[in-house]
């Protein structure tokens, strides 16, 4: 029954000093709010990324050339692309060349990232088309000046996403100079930044053009920067990966050297998630520092409470209250004070995570374990920082306490 009596006395003390109690809890509230927001939003972002990557990366491989090992003539050629396409288990193959430049229409211009690809890239990377179409095989083989622009750039230039058939000018860097292309818009894709809530003005445009067109504009040959492969099933990835590397090494007489690197996109996603987790943990730890500040506030206010209730402590000890009972009384009060602050912080953190996640278009993740851990941790902070004031109260001499004015 003693524990219930201590809880009742602690609640009464908090009610009597509402404002002082609230200010004491403020550090706890801020710390818990920040930690919950960071954990929920971070877990939501990782889950969203994993969900998107699972759709794309479960059957996708990426081939790159190790420039430190490669010698002249060991780049991936268009003939290599067709040879890889013929391998068993390969559903689609697309070369990828990247460039930077400017996209312009009348008085509007914007920095843009250019992706030179093939029609297969649409299915491999699941490009989300808003209007029109991805460029065709005929466009790719003929090296036509066609382009797929993102909807963010379309709205910036034309005020609408329905711009199929209109033209823009591309200024492409490469070959020691710049080339200007007038390209017809074949289709409009959803901005890749939309998935991360970053589709705002000022972000670079994302444009897809035939690899042959980009290569000619850059004054380059037929070698590609990267190669994307989609396998027929997830189980075939390992076999296709080994066969692709063996094929390229045989075609370029590069056996025994690590010239060609075949990567599983899911492994890259796991690495990114691991990095996000590390950043999330670091930021949460920084936010948790405010809990220490809140704990110091709890200790301070409990010392004041002990000082104010000296005669009460003396009377209780004179009536036979044991040292442990006195100590338990003040520890209960400090724990409840922190627990209430933790509960308020939990609610505010939940609302804050919902607000932040709505801006970046992800769903926050709240788990029962994180809620329980938060409440237990906040109570533990109160108990830890309440130990010193509680011991001060418990060690008081009843005679000296009764003499206190």
Task: State CA 386 to chain mean position distance.
Answer: 37
Q: What is the pLDDT of residues 222-272, one digit of tens each?
A: 678 788 998 888 888 889 989 998 998 888 888 878 888 888 877 766 676
Check residues 325 and 211 and name the one with the higher pLDDT. Answer: 211
Q: What is the pLDDT of residues 43-59, one digit of tens each?
A: 777 777 666 655 556 78
Average pLDDT over residues 102-130: 85
| Residue 226: its H or E element | strand 226-231
For the record, the structure tokens of 211 come out as 């690899």
Which of 11, 20, 9 shows the shortest CA–CA distance to 313?
A: 9
Phi, psi of 261 (to 5 degrees): -110, 120
Average pLDDT over residues 378-385: 79
At residue 302, the 3 state secondary structure works out as helix
């Amino acid at each position: 029954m003693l524990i219930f009596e201590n809880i009742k006395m602690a609640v009464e003390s908090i009610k009597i000093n509402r404002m002082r109690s609230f200010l004491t809890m403020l550090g706890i509230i801020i710390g818990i709010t920040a930690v919950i927001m960071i954990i929920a939003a971070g877990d939501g972002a990782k889950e969203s990324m994993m969900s998107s990557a699972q759709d794309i990366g479960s059957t996708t491989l990426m081939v790159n050339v190790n420039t430190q090992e490669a010698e002249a003539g060991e780049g991936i050629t268009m003939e290599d692309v067709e040879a890889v396409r013929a391998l068993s288990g390969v559903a689609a193959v697309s070369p990828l060349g990247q460039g930077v430049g400017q996209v312009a229409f009348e008085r509007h211009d914007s920095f843009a990232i250019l992706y030179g690809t093939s029609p297969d890239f649409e299915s491999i990377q699941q490009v989300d088309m808003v209007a029109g179409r991805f460029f065709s095989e005929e466009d790719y083989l003929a090296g036509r000046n066609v382009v797929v622009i993102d909807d963010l750039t379309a709205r910036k230039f034309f005020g609408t996403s329905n711009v199929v058939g209109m033209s823009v000018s591309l200024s492409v860097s490469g070959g020691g100079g710049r080339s200007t292309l007038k390209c017809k818009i074949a289709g409009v894709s959803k901005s890749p930044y939309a998935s991360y809530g970053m589709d705002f003005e000022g972000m670079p445009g994302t444009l897809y053009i035939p690899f042959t067109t980009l290569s000619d504009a850059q004054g380059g040959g037929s070698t590609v920067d990267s190669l994307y492969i989609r396998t027929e099933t997830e189980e075939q990835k390992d076999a296709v990966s080994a066969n692709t590397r063996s094929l390229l090494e045989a075609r370029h007489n590069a056996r025994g050297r690590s010239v060609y690197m075949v990567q599983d996109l899911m492994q890259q996603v796991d690495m990114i998630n691991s990095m996000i987790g590390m950043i999330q943990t670091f930021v949460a730890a920084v936010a948790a520092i405010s809990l220490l500040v809140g704990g110091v506030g709890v200790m301070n206010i409990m010392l004041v409470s002990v000082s104010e209730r000296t005669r009460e402590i003396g009377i209780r000890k004179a009536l036979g209250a044991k040292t442990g009972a006195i100590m338990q009384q003040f520890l209960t009060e400090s724990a409840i004070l922190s627990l209430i602050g933790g509960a308020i912080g939990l609610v505010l953190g939940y609302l804050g995570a919902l607000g932040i996640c709505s801006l970046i278009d992800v769903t926050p993740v709240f788990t029962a374990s994180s809620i329980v851990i938060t409440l237990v941790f906040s109570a533990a902070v109160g108990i830890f920082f309440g130990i010193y004031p509680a011991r001060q109260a418990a060690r008081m001499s009843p005679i000296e306490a009764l003499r206190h004015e």
